[in-house]
Structure 1
Amino acid sequence: MADDLFKTAREAMGRAHAPYSKFPVGAAIRADDGKVYAGANIEVISFPEGWCAETTAIGHMVMAGGRRIEEVAVIAEKMARCTPCGGCRQRLAEFGTPDTRIHLCDASGIVETVTLAELLPLAFDSEALK
């Protein structure tokens, strides 16, 4: 079932705006309602003011009314197994759970699947603020 996420992330990577890093990234999120949201990294010359593919996908999800991430696929043109950066890991934790599946992809498909807890074992937890 995650193959559709891979394909969507790969298509999104093709829309990346990465003129400075030359490092296009695509991401696709499946929300708890089953809908898939895509994103690509979008750079601006004022580093680090651009945004990552995962951030773009989360923005699309939230604007469409989605609230909970079930799984994510991430792909980068120049890496065999691209993982979300630290900031995106925390953003994913905000809308996911420790069990949220993160599919790490290369050009041919999913290379490895890990949980959000494995990527960010000591995430900030909004429950601590209550």
Structure 2
Amino acid sequence: MAPVLEWIKASNLLSTARFFGGNVKPMPSNRGKPYGYGMIVTIPDGVSVPMHLKEMVLPGGLYAIFESSEDVNLSWKTFMGRLAKDGIYKSDRSRLCLEEHIRNEKPSGCGNEYHLILLEPVKVIKN
């Protein structure tokens, strides 16, 4: 995350950037081994991205969202549990799930210094 944040600050893009993260290979496992986590930041069109970073365009589509200010792992478990019980939508594993991180200065009663918006790609279940 540090190289992305340093570039965003140095480029004066901090006030307009939205920050997303998501698991990348190697994926998390129960064994506690290190795993990949990628950071995605929105930037305006026409901004040149330095060579040590990768520019990409995320595919669109339908996403279910879940908002939380609590632990990210517990939030995902709650979210995915609710989605598994939904009779209309199911996860679309062909696209990345994302976590938007919005700094909230850890207000009283909040368990996390970031407000999270979890985005799970979904597709309609065919009947």
Q: Which has the higher contact order (CA 8 A, sep 6+)?
A: 2
Larger Rg computed on CA atoms: 2
After TM superposition, the score normalised by the length of structure 2 is 0.31
Q: Name the structure with the higher strand share.
A: 2
After TM superposition, the score normalised by the length of structure 1 is 0.31
